[in-house]
Chain A
Amino acid sequence: MIKFAHIGLRYGIGPEVLTDINFTLEPGSFHFLTGPSGSGKTSLMSLLYLGLRPTRGEISMFGNDVKSLDRDQMALLRQKIGVVFQDFRLLNNLTAFENVALPLRLSNKSEKQIKSDVSELLEWVELGDYMHRLPMTLSGGQQQRIAIARAVISKPRMLLADEPTGNLDDTIGYKLMGLFEQLNRMGTTMVIATHNQQMMNSFYHKKLILNAGQLIVEEPRNIIKDIAEGEVHV
């Protein structure tokens, strides 16, 4: 479980970009994170993957008070979180394969397991033929799929994705959402930041809505009602 209590964040001496954020993510839950550009989605994501420390408030993660952890414990906690960044952040000197293999190397998996897991996942995201290419030689959508593969390879307890389907056409976009759903059913807590209203409306998940640094949680639409009104075809 992840709990944010009275979280505030400011960059340097600037204004607070997040003010008094309170929410709880149950294990295995699925949330969309949405809000207008500049509302603080990426900032909230950074707090979730422990890339920033909040200027005030308490974060508790998988039963640990984050403030009380030492550096090694923080690192172990971060290994349990997969992140797809808005700008991918691939290591440009490493091949697609090596980029995806990184999380497994950080948790000291065997070469054999790395080889089979990474190849399988890259096949799955239809990049089997691009395994040994450097990110620079791939299209934006292909890079994004590598970023996603890297985030999910180690079956993290929580997956954070910042606009993961932004550069993808609808077919691959929905296929990836399918992957996220599948991971979610296996127990991974999901937070997907997106502007894509249509995408959010196609799934019945809670929404975290940010506006001017404030957060509200919106319950999913009622699927029974939708079916009755003929909006969902079973």
Chain B
Amino acid sequence: MYKFFKLFTPKSYILPLHKRSGSVQLFILLALMTALVVIIASVHLSLFKTVDRWQSLIQYQASIEIPALDEQGNTRSAAQVQQNIRRIKDFLKNTQASHDIEVMDTTQVAALLNPWLGDDGKILDNIDLPTIINFKLKASSADDVKYISERITKIAPRARLQTHENWLDKFLAILHGIHILGVLIIIITMVSTIFVISSSVRARMNIYNEDLSLLHIMGARDRFILKQFITYLFSICVPACLLGYICASLILAAVSQLLLGAEIDFLPSFGLNAHQFITLMTVPFSIFALTMLIGSHTVLREMKKMP
């Protein structure tokens, strides 16, 4: 290991900084931090993707549900239903706010209930199905929604307008919560990285204090001392960040494979594309840059204590 390490170090690397214990721990810690941040960041990316997909799918989607029973609890007659449909369609056509009006037929409505009732046609035969009219809002303004909602109840009592916005909002709020949590964890991890690096550099400078002050007296510039530590940190940080990134990618790939196999559509898809994997590459690079920055800063600050 030492021989291997020696191959890549310049002749000016003269302190055996890597030889004392603590290097392995630092290596593992950096790898873990990288993996943690990569995983959190990738969950984020998939959440964003999911939100995007849902938003485009249902943002302007609205539907009017006319229950099979009227306000007295009587089943609406077929003629009544047809009249309701016609009058609501006419109304929607005449409002500027809506377009793409579509009445779902009984089989489609039945299909919606399928997950709850199963394929058994007999049960469905005994249930009075509601009428559902789908349409798209041109914009989702609260005024439009209120106006349409009032008008349809006048046409068909108990008719309900659903814009999906409500539960989408709630869902987005949850996602935002997760988002903030993730950002917090990333920040905490980065701050821990800062502390870990600066304290481990300082500890190492203490161990080698005699050698450092000797080099200082012999006329080594702070930059020369810094180079020792940069060489050392580089040799630990690069493989650690790479390993962390590779492990995290493998874990993510495995999880995404598992979820794909289960075909759960509504779950955020963990399948990340090449572009997103490249975006995730910024994580090990940031941790590497942070390590080098904090390491250098600590070394220079400690060296200033020598006359």
Contact = CB atoms under 8 A, between A and B. Distances in A.
Interface of A: 49-53, 71-72, 75-81, 83, 89, 91, 93-94, 98, 102-103, 105-107, 111
Given A52-B307, A53-B307, A71-B222, A89 B214 contact: yes
Given A50-B307, A105-B12, A106-B224, A93 B19 contact: yes
* 3 tightest Cβ-Cβ pairs between the two chains A and B: A79-B219, A78-B219, A75-B221
B11 interface: yes
Contact of B219 (A53, A76, A89, A111): A76
Given A50-B307, A52-B307, A53-B307, A98 B14 contact: yes
A91 B307 CA distance: 21
Interface string B215-256: 111111110100000000000000000000000000000000
Nearest to A46: B217
A51 B213 CA distance: 9
B90 to A, nearest CB: 86
Contact of A105 (B14, B15, B211, B213): B14
Interface of B: 11-12, 14-16, 19, 210-211, 213-222, 224, 304, 307
A70 to B, nearest CB: 11
A233 B29 CA distance: 73
B16 A93 contact: yes
A49 B14 contact: no
A19 to B, nearest CB: 20
Contacts of A93: 15-16, 19
Contact of B221 (A52, A53, A71, A98): A71
A111 B11 CA distance: 9
Contacts of A81: 219
18 contacts: A51-B216, A51-B217, A52-B307, A53-B307, A72-B221, A75-B221, A79-B218, A80-B219, A83-B217, A83-B218, A91-B14, A91-B15, A94-B14, A102-B14, A102-B218, A103-B219, A106-B215, A106-B224
Contacts of B15: 91, 93
Contacts of B214: 89, 91
Nearest to B19: A93
A78 B222 contact: no
A106 B214 CA distance: 12
Contacts of A89: 210, 214
Contacts of B221: 71-72, 75
A79 B215 CA distance: 10
B75 to A, nearest CB: 93
B14 A77 contact: no
Given A91-B14, A94-B14, A105-B11, A78 B217 contact: yes
Contacts of A78: 216-219
B218 A51 contact: no
A62 B219 CA distance: 15
A106 B222 contact: no
A49 B224 CA distance: 19
A98 B219 CA distance: 16
A51 B220 CA distance: 12
A94 B228 CA distance: 14
Given A83-B217, A93-B19, 12 more contacts: A51-B307, A53-B307, A72-B221, A75-B219, A76-B219, A78-B218, A80-B219, A81-B219, A98-B14, A105-B12, A106-B219, A107-B219
A107 B210 CA distance: 21
A71 B220 CA distance: 10
A106 B216 CA distance: 10
A145 B2 CA distance: 29
A183 to B, nearest CB: 17
A116 to B, nearest CB: 16
Nearest to A83: B217
B17 to A, nearest CB: 10
B218 A103 contact: yes
B19 to A, nearest CB: 7
B211 A91 contact: yes
A71 B14 CA distance: 21
A154 B109 CA distance: 93
Contacts of B16: 93
A154 to B, nearest CB: 9
Contacts of B304: 71
